[in-house]
Homo-oligomer: A and B are copies of this chain.
Amino acid sequence: MANESRKVTFSVDRDSNFSEWYNTIIRQAELIDDRFNIKGMVVYRPLAMKLTKAIYGLLEERLETSGHQPVLFPVLIPEENLSKEAEHIKGFKPETYWVTMGGGETLTSRYALRPTSETAFYFMYSQWLRSPSDLPLKLYQSVAVYRHETKATKPLLRGREFLWIEAHDVFATAEEAIEQVREDERMTREVIEGELSVPILFLLKPQWDKFAGAVNTYAAEAVMPDGMVLQVATTHYLGKNFSEAFDLGYYDAEGKKRRVEQTCFGPGVSRILAAIISVHGDNLGLVMPFKVAPVQAVIVPIPGPGVEELARAIASRLRDKGIRVELDESEETPGAKFYKWEFRGVPLRIEVGEREVSSSRVTVFDRVARERNSVSLSELDGFLEEFPEAQHRALRDRAEGMFQRLMGEADSLQKARELTSSGKRVLKAYLCSLDLDGEGCAERIEKELGLSVRGELLNAEKPRDKKCIACGREARHEVFLAEAY
């Protein structure tokens, strides 16, 4: 980047002032520019776009391994499609952008700027599905979606344009659809926890908080440094709701039309990026997971005899190993370079100076542990093989530690109040019902604590001898309470 050499200043504490820390880092690390002249729509600068492409790559690889294939549907959806499923249009109409004009003319019917694409996919599925051999049908697209948010927007966290993947799956039976929800959880965990080191909760949402048109909604939520949760992926079990509305089915052996079962899965790429920035970043800047870092290792030469040759030899040795490496031979001082690359979150720094040349060693610096170590050139290959996994574990432990510090368990409103005033922001608690008859209790909890009922873990056991913290009746669910972005 042309701007890399500008001096960065950064002095905001992430944990005590997260919002300002976040706004500062996305601007100063040149990730996102929110000065584009449409509120809530931002520009992804090269560093953010490279991370975005890497996150897409990890998710797409998983989806394809689990039998999905890529497609692309138009960005515009006719209003008649969007209106076919009654709950769906009711949920999305208040936040849909509409294209009403083409050139100088008013269009005869208006088109939605895709807020989500169920009603585009299923319009075509009704033409593609004919026989049982067409099932399962598992397609995904990697696109931006558009919502005319009325809440305050914040770059990557809540935007009017955001990036995601949407996978739309069709099955012959409910069992297969439910199995897909579990598969979606597995993929989500493998990528977000396994590759990006961000711990998540994967929750069945309350009925009052499900996707418009779904039977059940499941959500993956990351915990941000301020203790608010960020929904980074959702999976919806749609049952036959849309297959009724779109007349989706296949003809069985007797020539009878059978309705199909559906799921859809939406990992939010913008929000996963926000979670990486927020959960891993620290008061010295970004910290990028090795797997997706656009620069995985930077080599900083400290001028002296033989340094240039050794630095270049090491750079090419790393490149040969498939490591994305930057050899910083710019005019700046070594100290300025250390600061810059640390701020930009490069996982590994290798320093090469006169001392290193004479001792046939290099100095390595781990961005997560912030430790300097000396490694002999003969041991460098072994070190490089172990480094990514070791750093991943350290990053995961650090993130897990933050997660645990923000978490508490409350079996009464009184206890919950104590925990929130001592800084706990994600509470495990007990609720009478996640069906619509529990909504009153959830409202009471929200009013008392400022935390909403996020849902319960999949396959959670029914709590024993616990009371709903709001109404005191028998608790049927162990739930998580938190404030959400």
Contacts and interface: CB of A to CB of B under 8 A. Distances in A.
A2 B137 contact: yes
Nearest to A102: B148
A28 to B, nearest CB: 14
A373 interface: no
The secondary-structure label for the interface of chain A is mixed
Nearest to A4: B133
A78 interface: yes
Interface in A12-41: 33, 35-38, 41
Contacts of A44: 71-73
A33 B121 CA distance: 12
A278 interface: no
Contacts of A36: 73-74, 120, 123-124
Contact of A74 (B3, B42, B95): B42
Interface in A37-59: 37-38, 41-46, 49-50, 52-53
Contacts of A5: 133
A384 interface: no
Contacts of A49: 69-72
A128 interface: yes
A45 B141 CA distance: 10
A446 interface: no
A461 to B, nearest CB: 38
A480 interface: no
Interface in A365-392: none
Interface string A126-149: 011000011111010000101010
Nearest to A69: B46
A110 B99 CA distance: 10
Nearest to A159: B74
A218 interface: no
A43 B72 contact: yes
Nearest to A96: B103
B99 A70 contact: no
- Among A44, A80, A97, max chain B CB count under 10 A is at A97
B111 A102 contact: no
A74 to B, nearest CB: 4
Interface in A70-119: 70-76, 78, 80-81, 93-104, 110-111, 113
A11 interface: no
A1 interface: yes
A417 B206 CA distance: 74
A161 interface: yes
Contact of A78 (B38, B101, B163): B38
Contact of A99 (B95, B98, B137): B98
A53 B61 CA distance: 13
A26 to B, nearest CB: 14
Nearest to A92: B103
A111 B284 CA distance: 39
A359 interface: no
A52 B38 contact: no
Given A35-B127, A124-B43, A72 B99 contact: no
Contacts of A124: 33, 35-36, 43
A103 B150 contact: yes
A49 to B, nearest CB: 4
Nearest to A139: B46
B75 A146 contact: yes
Contacts of A1: 69
A55 to B, nearest CB: 13
A447 to B, nearest CB: 27
A46 B71 contact: yes
A311 to B, nearest CB: 22
A29 to B, nearest CB: 15
Given A2-B137, A37-B123, A70 B97 contact: no
Given A94-B104, A101-B98, A128-B3, A74 B135 contact: no
A416 to B, nearest CB: 35
Nearest to A3: B134
Interface of A: 1-3, 5, 33, 35-38, 41-46, 49-50, 52-53, 69-76, 78, 80-81, 93-104, 110-111, 113, 120, 123-124, 127-128, 133-137, 139, 144, 146, 148, 150, 161, 163
7 contacts: A33-B127, A36-B73, A36-B124, A38-B111, A44-B72, A97-B102, A102-B148
